[in-house]
């Protein structure tokens, strides 16, 4: 009997040990593949408090007695999933007058110009800032003394929500309207800076300020930098987050991921986006119109075997490429069978998306100089020197090294506007 009990106890101990080992391996594998495994940023169940959560905890005191215009979309929710629109509508002594929507509209589903509309639940007017105008007009701001911005960004310079915020700050300054930013996490984290600076003369709706492609700042921090460095002069107030740290990527915040736009369905795609999106203008499908945008790239004129062999030889850090064939249902090359690659993000720590994009562009330019229009990369990269060096055939690692001085200067300047450690 004693031997039986001893064997039973040993079996149970061994079973628990195997379970712990297996569970730990699964978590490690998830982290290596760029998944959602947590690290030491907090205990499971902890979550960052976004600007709207903090404002709510203050009983909306900064907005009391104000006539408010709210710039928001489907990402404007508190940590319990309640719309900022509804919270401000119900807040005591806060008068929500109008709503403003960015690219993709109030629901975040449109892939074209957006018309003005009305909010179904409140009946309030929604003025589109991606239609006839991209900046709030005097007529739109009539009766408003405070603009509130609450939108989740993607952490990438050419993502247009940045410019919508900046243009709205300019309008607020011109109309003597106070501007509030309800801050949210940078989904890519607040530490890694990558890519060339935007050339000073290439400012546009996809490039508001001369900063790198990946800038590692929150919208509140950006607002402070734009306001000072571009001399906007807005009466700016940032409602800072609580319990967000610069090392935290979105999956470490405990917050629910809400796609900020139709093609950024997952955080993994958001990490790939800066390096893959720059390849679309030269004539390559980046997987829009498929179930896996930014995880695929291809064109009918690509030889997948040749492209895969060259990229494997270059040993691009953090990712693995697999030959793939797909047919986009919408977007560039819609209905056309494309040969190319599937991109598997395996290690976010070593992955540098812009470098990956340059490596792919370099190979495509060398293999298909008449098909891959490398000069068109200027549209999003915004750096003539970078595109010139790519077209000349320079090694992407050497091009990357050439950004170091500009990034160092940007890092020093940006330090003045950081709100989190």
The pLDDT value recorded for residue 46 is: 72
The three-class DSSP label of residue 362 is helix
Alpha-carbon distances of 97 from 42, 57, 124, 127, rounded to whole Å: 38, 22, 7, 11
Chosen domain end from 220, 238, 258:
258
Q: State the pLDDT confidence band at 29, using cuts at 50, 70 and 90.
A: very low
Q: Do 218 and 106 have their domain in common? A: yes
- Number of structural domains (the chain) is 2
pLDDT value at residue 22: 33
Average pLDDT over residues 232-249: 98
Query: Among residues 258, 275, 299, which one ends one of the domains?
Result: 258
> Are 99 and 148 within one domain?
yes
**What angle is formed at CA 252 by the lines to CA 251 and CA 255, rounded to 5 degrees?**
65
The domain spanning residue 277 has which CATH number?
3.90.1150.140
Is 285 within a domain?
Answer: yes
Domain hosting residue 177, numbered range: 51-258
Range 290-298 average pLDDT = 98
Mean pLDDT of 205-228: 98
Considering the domain boundaries, does residue 14 fall inside one?
Answer: no
Do both 231 and 84 map to the same domain? yes
Q: 194 and 78, same structural domain?
A: yes
In a domain, 343, yes or no: yes
- On whether both 251 and 364 belong to a single domain, the answer is no
> Which has more confidence, 37 or 299?
299
CB 267 within 8 A of CB 253: no
| Adjacent-strand bridge partners of 236 | 179
- Tell me: the pLDDT tens digits for 320-347? 999 999 999 999 999 999 999 999 999 9
Asked whether residue 374 is domain-assigned, the answer is yes
Q: Is a pLDDT exceeding 50 seen at residue 210?
A: yes
* Residue 34 confidence (pLDDT): 39
Residue 66 forms part of a structural domain: yes
Q: Residue 342 half-sphere exposure, CB side, CA atoms within 13 Å?
A: 11
Tell whether 28 is covered by a domain: no
Kindly give, in sequence order, each residue whose CB lies less than 8 Å from that of residue 313, ignoring residues fewer than 6 positions away: none
Among 258, 289, 305, the domain boundary falls at 258
Distance CA 34, CA 346 (A): 6
pLDDT of residue 166: 98
- Shared domain for 253 and 158, answered yes or no, is yes
Q: Are 220 and 366 members of one domain?
A: no
Higher pLDDT, residue 13 or 409: 409
Per DSSP, the residues of 92-110 read: TT-EEEEEEE-TTTTTT--
Q: What stretches of 33-57 show up as alpha helix (H) in DSSP?
A: 51-57
Mean pLDDT within 283-309: 98
Question: What would the pLDDT profile of 245-270 be if each residue is shown by its tens digit?
Answer: 999 999 999 999 999 999 999 999 99
> Tell me, what's the pLDDT at 8?
35
Residue 33 has pLDDT above 60, yes or no: no
The DSSP annotation for 133-145 comes to -SS--TTTTTT-S
Do 97 and 220 share a domain, yes or no? yes
7 vs 241, which has greater pLDDT? 241
- Grade residue 114 by pLDDT with cuts at 50, 70 and 90: very high
Residues 214, 287 share a domain: no
Residue 221 has pLDDT above 90, yes or no: yes
Q: pLDDT for 36-87, tens place per residue?
A: 333 333 333 479 999 999 999 999 999 999 999 999 999 999 999 999 999 9
Same domain as 272, residue 243: no
Residue 201 has pLDDT above 80, yes or no: yes
User: Do 142 and 81 sit in the same domain of this protein?
Assistant: yes
How confident is the prediction for the chain on average, in pLDDT?
A: 91
Q: Of 290, 296, 285, 276, which is closest to residue 344 (Cα–Cα)?
A: 296
Say whether pLDDT at 23 is over 60.
Answer: no
Please report the pLDDT score of residue 102 as a whole number. Answer: 98
Q: Is the dihedral of CA 326, 330, 332, 334 positive or negative?
A: positive
Question: In degrees, to the nearest 5, what angle opens at C-alpha 354 toward C-alphas 33 and 108?
Answer: 75
Lowest mean pLDDT of 29-33, 70-74, 96-100, 314-318, name the range: 29-33
Q: Do 331 and 352 sit in the same domain of this protein? A: yes
**pLDDT for the residue 31:** 35
The enclosing domain of 221 has a CATH number of 3.40.50.12170
* Arithmetic mean of pLDDT, 347-365: 98
Q: Does 118 score more than 50 pLDDT?
A: yes
In a domain? residue 204: yes
What's phi and psi for 68, nearest 5 deg? -110, 140
């Amino acid at each position: 009997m004693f031997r039986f009990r001893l064997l039973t106890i040993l079996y149970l101990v061994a079973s628990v040990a195997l379970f712990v080992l297996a569970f730990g391996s699964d978590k490690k594998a998830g982290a290596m593949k760029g998944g959602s495994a947590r690290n030491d940023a907090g205990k499971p169940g902890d979550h960052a408090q976004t600007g709207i959560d903090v404002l709510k905890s203050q009983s909306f005191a900064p907005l009391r007695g104000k006539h408010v215009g709210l710039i928001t979309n489907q990402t404007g929710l508190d940590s319990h999933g309640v719309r900022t629109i509804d919270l401000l509508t119900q807040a005591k002594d806060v008068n929500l007058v109008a709503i403003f929507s960015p690219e993709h509209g109030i629901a975040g589903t449109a892939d074209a110009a957006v018309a003005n509309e009305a909010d179904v639940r409140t009946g309030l007017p929604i003025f589109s800032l991606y239609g006839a105008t991209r900046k709030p007009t005097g007529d739109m701001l009539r009766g408003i003394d405070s603009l509130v911005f609450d939108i989740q960004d993607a952490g990438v310079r050419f993502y247009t929500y940045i410019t919508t915020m900046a243009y709205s700050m300019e309008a607020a300054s011109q109309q003597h309207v106070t501007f509030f930013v309800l801050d949210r996490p940078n989904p890519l984290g607040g530490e890694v800076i990558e890519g060339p600076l935007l050339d000073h003369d290439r400012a546009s709706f996809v490039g508001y300020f001369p900063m790198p492609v990946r800038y590692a700042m929150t919208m509140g921090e950006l607002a402070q930098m734009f306001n000072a460095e571009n001399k906007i002069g807005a009466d700016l107030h940032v409602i800072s987050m609580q319990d967000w740290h610069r090392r935290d990527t979105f999956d470490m915040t405990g917050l629910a991921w809400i796609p900020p736009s139709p093609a950024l369905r997952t955080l993994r795609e958001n990490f790939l986006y800066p390096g893959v999106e720059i390849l679309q203008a030269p004539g390559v499908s980046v997987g829009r119109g498929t179930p896996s945008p930014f995880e695929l790239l291809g064109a009918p004129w690509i030889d997948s075997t040749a492209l895969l062999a060259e990229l494997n030889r270059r040993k691009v850090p953090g990712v693995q490429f697999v030959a793939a064939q797909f047919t986009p249902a919408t977007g560039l090359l819609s209905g056309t069978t494309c040969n190319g690659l599937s991109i598997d993000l395996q290690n976010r720590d070593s992955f540098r998306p812009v470098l990956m994009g340059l490596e792919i562009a370099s190979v495509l330019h060398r293999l298909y100089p008449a098909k891959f229009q490398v000069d068109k990369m200027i549209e999003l990269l915004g750096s003539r020197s970078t595109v010139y060096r790519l077209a000349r055939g320079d090694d992407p690692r050497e091009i990357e090294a050439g950004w170091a001085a500009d990034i160092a200067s940007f890092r020093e300047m940006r330090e003045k506007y950081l709100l989190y450690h």
